[in-house]
């Protein structure tokens, strides 16, 4: 790759005395030795996606470093000062286990305090959902968490929350970006910390958060009867180690087994290829431990403890991984069943799922006469729906296929600490009925239909990768398929143009959702295919969901195989190339 003149000029600015010596050395090295990496580091400025600011750590405008974090924070401070008048502005800050997370959190605290903003900074790493809770508890106007979730170790990120405790949505996201982009010189960033404005928050606040989580428990007496369920838990080197074992013990569970090697906080994630609980390899050590200990249940949280992966025993007594749709379906079924038993359903309750999450959740909600809202991908849209319905309707739960789940309204982001508590409670509830998690899932399939989903992610890195993904989306829009697996396409939802095309009636209908680069094909037999570029990773994602009636448990293997064949046929027809 030849070094573009504009990229070189942009890089040379970072050789000035406004940048520290180490940064200048890194940039000079790239100029002299690595034009490809130089281009990747400077061809654009990091932007907020569905998860906020996220990128590889290093020197450059397209990298996570002191200066990009400082500019993002100064932009946020400028926006807050324009929006909030006649009261002290307050912001909470948390961070995870990643390399430089503590450093970036302190940079953010320094810039905010230098701008006269009160900061509540956690004394050590904490789960992302606790930050969401802190924003609401301290009546903050905003919040920041330094995390790159489950991305590889080279990454870090910066997520911004608004006063409701949810991640920023329109118009705040675009307005903050406008403020950040308006900073043309690093001298405009005030790094001079005012320590009087910074309040350190510690264990006493953990207790407040955990007490709230305990209040969500619906079956304390059943937990008491089955408190010896053997649970293997791993934080995958992340923040869950602080609070997940605590919440399980507070609820009464007594048999929690750790994976000691993975209890160690380490941003290099030495025991896993990827700290992503969606990846089967991430749970290997936990599964080995569970087999050795003859455990009943395995849970693994990602580095910032907002998502959880689950493994349970199947009919052959082997551990199998549940996907995010299955976990969300089981938890939703449990919650709605208990709410109904306790007489808590009055007609104004609702659940929320994302448009790429299984329609099994909406089928479960129908049975209980509970409303189900579909929102765009990203838990911030679930939080936005909770805010929109506050005071008029009662939120029970929200889930997404990517292993995120939430119950209760006091946190406004996916919460793996809460989810682990609820998963363990549901396991106890199932055991009280003489059932396993697997039995519960099969019962759900028998009643509501056998829904099966598959996610295909294609990674396309760097500038050329972005362009390739854009071209793929363009082609699917210009030449959409007419059928998928021999079933005609009846609706095409294009969330970028906010239009649904009713193919049979040749009608264009408006989609009342924010614009997003997502395409959905709905077939006559109810199959749903969604295609979208990731907002946080260099990937394009294909979600395929198909379902069939399951008349008997004896038909499970046969129907499962038929659905697998159907889903693979659809992937082939879409010409997904690895």
Distance CA 403, CA 408 (A): 17
Q: What are the C-alpha distances in Å from 521 to residues 65, 424, 483, 524, 552?
A: 40, 36, 9, 10, 30
Catalytic residue among 110, 132, 149, 358: 149
Backbone angles phi, psi at 280, to 5 degrees: -55, -35
Relative to beta strand 118-122, strand 155-162 is unpaired
Q: At how many degrees (to 10) do helices 416-432 and 437-448 cross?
A: 90
Strands 319-322 and 308-313: what pairing? antiparallel
- Strands of the 118-122 sheet, one edge to the other: 48-49, 52-56, 155-162, 142-146, 90-95, 118-122, 198-201
Cα–Cα distance between 17 and 12 in angstroms, integer? 11
Cis before 171 (ω within 30): yes
Phi, psi of 414, rounded to the nearest 5 degrees: -60, 145
Tell me the C-alpha distance between 572 and 576, whole Å.
6
Q: What angle do CA 270, 272, 277 make, to 5 degrees?
A: 135
Question: If 0-12 CB within 10 Å is exposed, 13-18 middle and 19+ buried, where does residue 414 land?
Answer: buried
Largest Cα–Cα distance of the chain, in whole Å? Answer: 72
CA distances from 491 to 119, 197, 480, 519, 525 (A): 48, 54, 11, 11, 12
Three-state DSSP at 95 gives strand
Cα separation, 446 vs 230, in Å, equals: 28
* Structural element, H or E, at residue 341: helix 324-341
The answer to whether the CB of 161 falls within 8 A of the CB of 383 is: no
149 is catalytic: yes
Spatial distance between the Cα atoms of 27 and 132, rounded to a whole number of angstroms: 36
| Cβ(480)–Cβ(529) below 8 Å | no
The torsion region of residue 541 among left (phi > 0), alpha (psi -120 to 50) and beta comes to beta
Antiparallel, parallel or unpaired: β 52-56 and 90-95: unpaired
Which H or E element spans position 322?
strand 319-322
Query: Which residues have a Cβ under 8 Å from the Cβ of 82 and sit 6 or more positions away?
Result: none
Helix axes 128-137, 416-432, angle to 10 degrees: 110
Query: CA-to-CA distance for 525 and 570, rounded, in angstroms?
Result: 13
Judge whether 27 and 37 are in contact, CB under 8 Å.
no
Residue positions annotated with a catalytic role: 149
């Amino acid at each position: 790759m030849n070094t573009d003149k504009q990229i070189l000029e942009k890089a040379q600015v970072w050789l000035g005395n406004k940048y520290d010596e180490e940064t200048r050395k890194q940039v000079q090295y790239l100029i002299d030795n690595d034009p490809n990496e130089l281009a990747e580091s400077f061809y654009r400025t990091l932007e907020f996606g569905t998860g906020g600011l996220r990128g590889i750590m290093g020197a450059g405008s397209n990298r996570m470093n002191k200066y990009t974090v400082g500019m993002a924070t100064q932009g946020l401070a400028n926006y807050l000062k324009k929006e909030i008048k006649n009261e002290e502005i307050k912001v909470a800050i948390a961070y995870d286990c990643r390399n430089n997370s503590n450093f970036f959190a302190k940079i953010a605290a320094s810039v905010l305090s230098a701008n006269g903003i009160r900061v509540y900074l956690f004394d050590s790493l904490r789960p992302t959902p606790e930050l969401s809770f802190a924003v609401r508890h301290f009546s903050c106007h905003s919040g920041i968490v330094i995390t790159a979730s489950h991305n590889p170790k080279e990454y870090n990120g910066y997520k911004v929350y608004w006063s409701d405790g949810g991640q920023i949505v329109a118009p705040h996201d675009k307005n903050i970006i406008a403020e950040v982009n308006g900073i043309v010189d690093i001298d405009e960033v005030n790094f001079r910390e005012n320590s009087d404005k910074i309040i350190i928050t510690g264990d006493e606040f953990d207790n407040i958060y955990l007490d709230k989580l305990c209040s969500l428990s619906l079956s304390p007496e059943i937990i008491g009867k089955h408190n010896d369920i053997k649970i293997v838990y791993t934080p995958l080197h992340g923040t869950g180690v602080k609070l997940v074992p605590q919440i399980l013990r507070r609820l009464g569970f007594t048999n929690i087994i750790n994976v000691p090697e993975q209890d160690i906080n380490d941003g290099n994630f030495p025991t896993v290829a990827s700290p992503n609980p969606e990846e089967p390899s991430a749970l290997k050590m936990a599964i080995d431990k569970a087999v050795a200990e003859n455990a009943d249940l395995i849970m693994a949280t990602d580095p910032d403890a907002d998502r959880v992966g689950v493994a349970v025993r199947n009919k052959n007594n082997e551990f199998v991984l549940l996907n995010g749709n299955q976990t969300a379906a089981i938890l939703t079924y449990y919650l709605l069943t208990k709410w109904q038993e306790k007489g808590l359903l009055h007609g104004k309750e609702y659940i929320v799922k994302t448009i790429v999450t299984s329609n099994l959740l909406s089928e479960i909600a129908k049975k209980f006469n509970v409303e189900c809202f579909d929102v765009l991908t990203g838990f911030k849209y679930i939080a936005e729906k909770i805010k929109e319905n506050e005071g008029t309707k009662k939120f029970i739960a929200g889930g997404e296929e990517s292993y995120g789940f939430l119950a209760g309204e006091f946190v406004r982001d996916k919460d793996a600490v809460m989810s682990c508590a609820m998963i363990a409670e549901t396991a106890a509830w199932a055991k009280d009925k003489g059932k396993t998690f697997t039995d519960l899932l099969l019962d759900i399939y028998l009643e509501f239909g056998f829904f099966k989903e598959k996610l295909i992610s294609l990674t396309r890195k760097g500038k050329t990768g972005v362009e390739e993904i854009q071209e793929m989306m363009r082609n699917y829009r210009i030449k959409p398929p007419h059928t998928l697996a021999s079933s005609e396409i009846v609706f095409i939802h294009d969330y970028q143009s906010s239009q649904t095309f009713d193919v049979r009636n040749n009608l264009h209908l408006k989609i009342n959702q924010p614009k997003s680069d997502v395409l959905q094909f709905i077939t006559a037999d109810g199959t749903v295919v969604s295609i979208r570029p990731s907002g946080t990773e260099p990937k394009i994602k294909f979600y395929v969901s198909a379902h069939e009636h399951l008349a008997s448990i004896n038909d499970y293997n046969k129907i499962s195989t038929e659905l697998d064949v159907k889903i693979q046929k659809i992937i082939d027809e879409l010409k997904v190339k690895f």
